[in-house]
Amino acid sequence: MIQAVFLKQIKKILHALKASQHASWAQNVAQPNLFGYHLGMPTPHTRPATINIDDKLAQISATWTPHIIAELNGQQVKLAKLEGEFTWHDHADEDELFLVLTGRITMQMRDESAQQHEQIVEPGEIIVIPRGIEHNPIAAAGTSVLLFEPAATKHTGDKVLERTVVDQPRI
């Protein structure tokens, strides 16, 4: 009986440690308090902190390098600073959302019949690139975007290029 209670406590502590490791990368949830768990306090997952987009953008210096700021349901929310032309690519299995925060994107696209067209995306606007559609963003100086896409999405699509950032940083 005493052993069972002891094991239960150990399990609780291990669970709390695991939660704290998870929380440390995210930096957007309250740090768990081991003592709090014993008192039945809310876990970090039940009291998420807000994420300030301007603060996160201030931590980014490299362009064309998506930074992960949140994760949910197998999807990731990312921020990136963009400037100049990226590269033509497509994503076979994922639709890709761009929300322009600052600057401007000229999104070049090629439709199914390989006809090229472009769409200007201004701050406060989103564009969703359907899977399989080739696209090439050209960004004005000072452009920043929020991206929302499945965790598996590579920003250069199926091509691995000089510009491909495999381990996208979490901030």
Binding characters for Ni ion, 55-94, by CB under 5 A (x = yes): ----------------------------------------
Residues binding Ni ion: number (CB under 5 A): 1
Distance of closest approach, residue 139 Cβ to Ni ion, in angstroms: 13
Cα separation, 155 vs 136, in Å, equals: 11
| Helix H or strand E segment including 4 | helix 2-26
CB nearer Ni ion, residue 56 or residue 89: 89
Cβ-based nearer residue to Ni ion, 23 or 86 = 86
Stretch that binds Ni ion, among 57-65, 96-104, 112-120, 141-149 (CB under 5 A): 96-104
Q: How far apart are CA 45 and CA 22, in angstroms?
A: 10
Which residues on adjacent β-strands are paired with residue 81? 63, 144
Give Cα separations from 129 to 81, 90, 107, 133, 159 (angstroms): 18, 9, 9, 7, 17
User: Which residue's Cβ has the minimum distance to Ni ion?
Assistant: 96
* Radius of gyration for the chain, computed over Cα atoms and rounded to the nearest angstrom: 21
Q: Tell which positions 125-164 bind Ni ion, by CB under 5 A.
A: none
Query: Which residues contribute to the site for Ni ion (CB under 5 A)?
Result: 96
